[in-house]
Amino acid sequence: MSIPAFGLGTFRLKGLQVIDSVRMGLELGYRHIDTAQIYENEADVGQAIAESDVPRDELFVTTKVWTANLGRDRLIPSLEESLAKLRLEQVDLTLIHWPSPGDELDVADYLGSLLEARRQGLTRSIGVSNFTIAHLQRAIDTVGADEIATNQVEIHPFLQNHALVDFARRHGIHLTAYMPLAYGKVLHDPLLQGIAARHDATPAQVALAWLLQQGFAVIPSSTRRENLASNLEAQRLRLSDEDMAAIAGLDRNERIANPGFAPNWD
């Protein structure tokens, strides 16, 4: 199943903040909404979706199963709880949010449970997030590359994740870039500012266009209507080969999402 290339992230947004962000996003044309159990905003996202005029079949909704729910007795019930909060009978995509900390649980066990959730109709497709090459290989061995709709990982101009990207592409696995704006750091980069000025664009639009042109899906977030609208315009921006190469030179392995339970990154 095709994942919309441009989505709306909801990380760190709760309550009225996320309700307003999703509501404005839907009004502006966003149709891919990304949430997660650990964000504690699924009910708010569900409210915003329910109160919108957008038909369900025009929406693509992603949620992610938290590490505490990876056990065989918890994964499917937790997804059913997510559906109740989202007020949906089915999500379009369910991801394993992080590999089991310390690999306490085997990838085969929880991906097997997620595949069963899909068979039960709780989700249209399945995928993973924050998976390293080793975890991704284990996932491929378990369910096959064709079953993995995406690996959602941190990718932006300052963290380009080359080894993982190359591995995923060799196996035909799609990648979704989260934190595509490096939590706002792209806005202040002189090179991105210069490219933006030449294209009558913003640095955020340049960073997003750079990711889109490489085939990644992006899920930026914002609570401001003007930024939500501006980000969408990145889809119309076409960067030159020279622009793309210059931005590629910004890589400095600067990882933002790196909690204590994170796997050993590639």
User: Which residues are identified as catalytic?
Assistant: 39
Place of tokens 């998976």: 131
Which SS3 state, helix, strand or coil, does residue 192 take?
Answer: helix
Tokens (6 digits) for 101: 């900390």
φ/ψ region of 172 (left if φ > 0, alpha if ψ in -120 to 50, else beta) reads left
Q: Which has the closest alpha carbon to 173: 109, 220, 126?
A: 126
Give the sign of the dihedral formed by CA 151, CA 251, CA 103, CA 167.
positive
Instruction: Decide: residue 199, CB within 10 A, 0-12 exposed, 13-18 middle, 19+ buried.
Output: middle
CB atoms within 10 A of CB 73: 9
Indicate the residue type of 173. Answer: I
Q: Which has the closest alpha carbon to 86: 2, 175, 22, 7?
A: 22
Tokens (6 digits) for 3: 């994942």
Longest dimension (CA), the chain: 55
Is 199 among the annotated ligand-binding positions?
no
Half-sphere exposure of 241 (CA within 13 A, CB side): 0
Tokens (6 digits) for 193: 């500012």
Q: Give the C-alpha separation, 205 to 25, whole Å.
A: 16
Binding-site residue ranges for substrate: 97
Binding-site residue ranges: 97
